[in-house]
Amino acid sequence: MADCTITLRLTKPHPGQEQVLNEAKRFNVLCCGRRWGKSKWGIRMAADQLLEGQPVGWMSPTYKNLAEHWRQTVAMLRPVTAKANVSEHRLELITGGVLEMWSLESPDTIRGRLYRRVIVDEGAMVRDLLDDWNYIIRSTLIDLEGDAWFLSTPRGVGGFQTMYDWGQDPTMPDWASWRFASDTNPHLPRSELESMRRILPARAYEQEIEARFIDEVSGALWKYAMLDANRVPEAPALARIVVAIDPAVSTNANSDETGIVAAGVTAGAQQHGYVLADRSGIYSPEGWARTAINLYHDLEADHIVAEKNQGGDMVRFTLRTVDPNVPVKLVHASRGKATRAEPVVALDEQGRIHHVGVLRDLETQMTTWSPIDDDDSPDRVDARVWAITDLMLKKQMPKAGSFQG
């Protein structure tokens, strides 16, 4: 009888996937950005056991997710498939291996199954992942002493992050976890990732591409949903534009940033504000003055607003050394940052302040700074507050520090 050899084409692992393979333990959590290759990796890990004649359980958060991966898996394993049951999402291979695919929308249907390997895809989207693991999935691995893989792009915080933390905990030796940004996949075009970095909101890029666990900070005055809802691609005609500065106290490498934010306002009774640019950073006095004045000229702004507390007239003097003709308004912070920010937050909540494009670092600071736990100095936030206050809340502007053109 002639020997019959079947070739199964599996994607060659890229370096990040090789690392995971070499460091894997019994229970593994792979947190990665979009297009890193986690789903193909999952299919490959399923194939490893199926080709050894072992039973494998694949679990997805919804039937829609399941259907897509069923099609991919059927296509990849077709050369070694003996029987495929579409209605039950069950594959029997010529090796004796059996793959069963389930939706965790109905996790109780998995009770009583026995697997050598379980793969949970998009685990961050599973509503009750920890309960499903503890009460249902874990017991399916007992008889065959099986292992498990949890694959996902993060989505807020929850059960998937808890499992990721287990993998980082040396007191839990059965668990391993990894976090890979999308750009660690060498096959992705870097130009596409850079384009996404420019256009995606800060939270979306950090979560979907950098694979970071992002949560709304308790007590934060701004939420991403608010900023995203008010975002616009470009500003309309503006009646006035200002550049606001929140200067840092010191100028060494460990200094706070100097907040430099530009904003404009429309004419009319129902004014809308538009945050145009964020040029904040760690600068020398000459550096932040030049950056702010360049922005002032680029936008043809009306004047510069600067907080007086940190140096008083020295702020005006520093700006005038770069451009003696720049109009400067000094403002005095007689109230706390949260108190100054609240009227501006109210305008955001009314949908009257819009970010033009994505102001990534500013938005991250806005949604992660909480006045409840005010350990950091939110310099970008403060500059934004000064700009909007000057443009839209004139009656609430501090009187100290008069305007000098």
pLDDT score recorded for residue 290: 96
Per-residue pLDDT at 350 exceeds 50: yes
Cα–Cα distance measured from residue 158 to residue 129, given in angstroms and rounded to the nearest whole number:
8
pLDDT score recorded for residue 383: 95
Please write the tens of the pLDDT for every residue from 84-95. 999 999 999 999
pLDDT score recorded for residue 403: 45
Please write the tens of the pLDDT for every residue from 101-139. 999 988 999 999 999 999 999 998 898 899 999 999 999
Pick from 177, 42, 139: which is nearest to 99 by CA?
A: 42
Please write the tens of the pLDDT for every residue from 10-24. 667 888 899 999 999
| Range 330-356 average pLDDT | 88
| All structural domains of the chain | 15-208 (3.40.50.300), 224-404 (3.30.420.280)
pLDDT score recorded for residue 271: 94
Please write the tens of the pLDDT for every residue from 386-405. 999 999 997 544 443 444 44
Pick from 89, 97, 131, 93: which is nearest to 117 by CA?
A: 97
Query: How far is residue 95 from each of residues 10, 48, 52, 102, measured CA to CA in Å?
Result: 17, 11, 7, 22
**pLDDT above 70: percentage of residues in the chain:** 88
- Which has more pLDDT, 376 or 233? 233
pLDDT-derived band at 335, boundaries 50, 70, 90: confident
Give the chain's mean pLDDT: 87
Per-residue pLDDT at 365 exceeds 70: yes
pLDDT-derived band at 164, boundaries 50, 70, 90: very high
Cα–Cα distance measured from residue 191 to residue 35, given in angstroms and rounded to the nearest whole number:
14
Please write the tens of the pLDDT for every residue from 36-51. 888 888 988 999 999 9
Per-residue pLDDT at 1 exceeds 50: no
Read off the pTM: 0.58
Please write the tens of the pLDDT for every residue from 239-285. 999 999 998 876 554 567 899 999 999 998 889 999 999 999 989 99
Rounded to the nearest 10°, the torsion over CA 108, 169, 220, 371 is: 150
Lowest-pLDDT range, 15-19, 182-186, 221-225, 306-310? 306-310
